[in-house]
Amino acid sequence: QVQLVESGGGLVQAGGSLRLSCAASGRTFNSYTMAWFRQPPGKEREFVATITWNGFTFYAHSVKGRFTISRDNAENTVYLQMNSLKPEDTAVYHCAVGRPDNWDLGPYDYWGQGTQVTVSS
């Protein structure tokens, strides 16, 4: 049974940093694309960043230059380093794994339950 478990969320002041982790289990995802999405309160889920099996990365315009996605294939884990956080980054952050047709539109096959990130002004 495949499981994706996110961690690292929390409350931080504007300008601060957080590092999210997503540990995958149940199978090996070395050849899959791994991604982060977020759902702000009262809004639709939106794409944040993706990383392919060979390290190619793609970011949403709103986070480019502030967030960095990385992965450790040996640990079956994807990370999201978030710097210079803004109140508008407040959301539930979900990791996703798959072989999407489009980095941002997906579809992705597996999803985590999410971790809350709250940025205070």
Is the distance from CB of 47 to CB of 30 less than 8 angstroms?
Answer: no
CB 78 within 8 A of CB 96: no
For 86-120, the pLDDT digits (tens) are: 999 999 999 999 999 998 888 999 999 999 999 99
Q: What is the pLDDT of residue 56?
A: 96
Q: What are the pLDDT digits (tens) for 61-81? A: 999 999 999 999 999 999 999
* Contact indicator for 67, 83 with CB cutoff of 8 Å: yes
CB 113, CB 29: distance < 8 Å: no
Sequence-ordered list of residues with C-beta below 8 angstroms from that of 42, at least 6 positions apart, any chain = none
